[in-house]
A and B are shown apart, each in its own frame.
Chain A
């Protein structure tokens, strides 16, 4: 049964009849997406890394639908203090959406939560001797929000920026005040290649028996359930349902979503790691 929603509710210019048509075409086997992508195929995107000289790491990503995101990572040396929340406060994430008065706290939270995966080992790399530590500021600038949900765009750009973040090398002893190597060439990566990389969040929409990655706004509108799946290396570290979606979903479908997400994420990671190597 097709969902009965008006265009006001879904935010798409499609009429109920058109939405119903779209819903039917997505439930077919094999499904037909409006832009003739395969279920796991992403829309074309443009990405570049290391674009800003005044940051420790930066990245820019532009999606075909006009979504544009810039992420800058800056690191500052901070004294350890007992009063603050401890290592969990060492990474601060801010999302600024262009044209909106207030920062979007919810989006920031989504990214920040998934960054602090326990056991990723990143907090250990921020320790500077006995009394100091690095404080990492991840500033996400959403220049033009994409037509669909921005979570994927934000986390993919953040991933790219963090992968390219380098911190100056510490040359002082643990008990001393920190002194750093002058040579940027000796900088240490925040996320070394052989360690657990930063996580990404993928959006998955479930329609009938089928699941689709990187859904467009129209596909989100007719989906039964919209899931944001956070993946770190080869493990799923978080699943949550997002607003939208009509009706629930069966347990088996969620299981399939998680299984397929891992496979898709591996492809995403390998293509993102290729960014910047070509030039």
Chain B
């Protein structure tokens, strides 16, 4: 029994949300001029900066493919991002896994075939961690790729869902985990492409009962659709702003 209850009998979580509510999600687009595309996303206390360069000439010959563009991802955890100071090296297992998951997800959504022999480089910096890090990275990368003008079929949006077990053994999915929930509950990270509910990334790192997965995925897909609306609004607002400034 943990010291605090993750879901109170009144149906409120530790930060006062209900099961289907997300934390404050504030996306910003085109935050720096140094890269082709950039974004900054605050999802609750999780903060991620993303910059995209590309399509560019591959920096390493291993990233050269004569059929399609290669997508390289750099994920970097700032040493001050967690509760305790911790430095993660480049060879950290978790970092490598996130990088490969991200590059595979975007390889299937971007129209890489239009830019053979080139590279799209996505660089992600995690400034503050409070759960749902991979999902926030996906959303930040999507927004930065839109800003960079890399051709893609649709938005890739992601969110997390936890599975909470009530005292009477019934289960309840909880949308958008924070770090406390991530530590105590089994959960999935799920990314969908576009308006239809096609799943392009699904990650489950803990054990969960098979019959619960269906419900978690349904809640996750709804969450992704919600995030898609928020990202779309950010892109449209940015476009309107650009048009107003006369940049278009």
Contact = CB atoms under 8 A, between A and B. Distances in A.
B128 A52 contact: yes
Contacts of A141: 78, 125, 127
Interface string B3-35: 000000000000000000000000000001111
Contact of B32 (A51, A94, A143): A143
Given A62-B32, A141-B78, 15 more contacts: A54-B45, A54-B80, A54-B81, A55-B80, A58-B80, A66-B33, A66-B34, A72-B78, A72-B79, A96-B79, A98-B74, A98-B123, A99-B123, A139-B79, A143-B32
Given A99-B74, A143-B49, A143-B125, A68 B83 contact: no
A21 to B, nearest CB: 27
Nearest to A68: B32
Contact of A52 (B74, B80, B85, B87): B80
Interface residues of B, number: 25
Contacts of A74: 79-80, 85
B47 interface: yes
Given A66-B33, A68-B34, A94 B45 contact: no
Nearest to B35: A144
Nearest to B79: A139
Nearest to A52: B128
Main SS at interface, chain B: loop
Nearest to B80: A72
Contacts of B34: 66-68, 143-144
Contact of A70 (B35, B51, B78): B78
A70 B123 CA distance: 15
A139 B80 CA distance: 7
A101 interface: yes
Contact of A54 (B76, B82, B87, B125): B82
Nearest to B81: A54
A76 B79 CA distance: 13
B90 interface: yes
Contacts of B79: 72, 74, 94, 96, 137, 139
Contacts of B127: 51-52, 70, 72, 141
A93 to B, nearest CB: 11
A53 interface: yes
Contacts of A51: 127
Contacts of A94: 79, 87
Contacts of B45: 53-54
A73 B32 CA distance: 23
Contacts of A137: 79-80, 85
Interface in A56-105: 58, 62, 66-68, 70, 72-74, 76, 94, 96, 98-99, 101
